[in-house]
């Protein structure tokens, strides 16, 4: 099994640009989570999908952030427009139905200049 | 919602010593408590977890204990090795379809 796949692994962009992060969960997993990690705030849950449906997006910082899961094998997190304070590592994680364990992807390190 | 406090934030030990990291949680309905290890520049990886129907679980040099009455749980690492150096995160959830609430993390440094 390839595990959770994220792309790109690194992204450097300028303030105001649109950024799209991508995630492919482990095959057969029906829950998907997007997290943001910074030194100051630790690991924060941004949004959580179950069976492709957003269940809890209370962690999404503001309207500049949006997430979609068009099918069971793909999700995107978009930031438009990006700001320097969005610089962080963004992790995607997935979980199999009926279990508790979340498996994390390698993360995307985002730098907004 | 759930709140997880973790301490210490940093912990330095000598190789061969034991290390203990402690977490408290606020929601008495929480029943699943995983611990993740994150090496520098890598993803968090599950190292051990415990459910509220047991008080202790061991896996080689690591163990986790849970005190439901006091709402705290701890990670114990014995005979520490330099490769144990990493950031360790505790988390709590109600289980089922709920989400994990993470502590802020403990940076463990094991000196040779």
Q: Which member of B42, B46, B89 has the closest CB to residue A101? A: B46
Cα distances from A38 to residues A35, A41, A61, B19, B104, in angstroms, run 10, 5, 14, 25, 10
Exposed/middle/buried for residue B53 (C-beta within 10 Å: 0-12, 13-18, 19+): exposed
Does B89 contact A106 at a Cβ distance shorter than 8 Å? no
Rounded Cα distance between B96 and B33, Å, is 13
Does A100 contact B89 at a Cβ distance shorter than 8 Å? no
Q: Is the peptide bond before A8 cis (omega within 30 degrees of 0)?
A: yes
> Which residues of chain A lie closer than 8 angstroms to B93, CB-CB?
100
pLDDT in tens, A8-50: 999 999 999 999 999 999 999 999 999 999 988 899 999 999 9
| Residue B102 to chain A, least CA–CA distance (Å) | 7
Does B49 contact A106 at a Cβ distance shorter than 8 Å? no
Q: Which member of B32, B43, B46 has the closest CB to residue A107? A: B43
| Average confidence score pLDDT of chain A | 94
Is the pLDDT score of A1 beyond 70? no
pLDDT at residue B54, as a whole number:
82
Model confidence at A79, in pLDDT bands (50, 70, 90)?
Answer: very high
Q: Quickly tell me which residue has 């997430």 as its tokens.
A: A67
Q: Does A103 touch chain B (CB under 8 A)?
A: yes
Mean pLDDT of B4-8: 97
- For B59, the token pair is 């896996």
Q: Does B104 touch chain A (CB under 8 A)?
A: yes
Reported residue count of chain B is 112
Q: What is the CA radius of gyration of chain A?
A: 13
Write out chain B in H/E/C secondary structure: CCCEEEECCEEEEECCCCEEEEEEECCCCCCEEEEEEECCCCCCEEEEEEECCCCEEEECCEEEEEECCCCEEEEEECCCCHHHCEEEEEEEECCCCCCCEECCCEEEEEEC
Which uninterrupted H or E stretch holds A23?
strand A19-24
pLDDT in tens, B18-54: 999 999 999 999 999 999 999 999 999 999 999 988 8
Q: Are A61 and A85 in contact (CB under 8 A)?
A: no
């Amino acid at each position: 099994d390839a595990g959770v796949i994220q792309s790109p692994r690194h992204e450097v962009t300028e303030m105001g640009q649109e950024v799209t992060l991508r995630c492919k969960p482990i095959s057969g997993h029906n829950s998907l989570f997007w997290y943001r990690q910074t030194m100051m705030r630790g690991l924060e849950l941004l949004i959580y999908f179950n069976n492709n449906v957003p269940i809890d997006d209370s962690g999404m910082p503001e309207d500049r952030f949006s997430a979609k899961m068009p099918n069971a094998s793909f999700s995107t997190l978009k930031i438009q427009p990006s700001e320097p304070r969005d610089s962080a590592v963004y992790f995607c994680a997935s979980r199999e139905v009926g279990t508790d364990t979340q498996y994390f992807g390698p993360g995307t390190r985002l730098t907004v200049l | 919602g759930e709140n997880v406090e973790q301490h210490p934030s940093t912990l330095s030990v000598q190789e061969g010593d034991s290390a203990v990291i402690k977490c408290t949680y606020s929601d008495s309905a929480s029943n699943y408590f995983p611990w993740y290890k994150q090496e520098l520049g890598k993803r968090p990886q599950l190292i051990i977890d415990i459910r509220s129907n047991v008080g202790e679980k061991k896996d080689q040099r690591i163990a986790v204990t849970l005190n439901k009455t006091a709402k705290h749980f701890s990670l114990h690492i014995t005979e520490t090795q330099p490769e144990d150096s990493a950031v360790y995160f505790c988390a709590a959830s109600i289980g089922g379809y709920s989400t994990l609430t993470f502590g802020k993390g403990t940076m463990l440094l094991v000196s040779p």
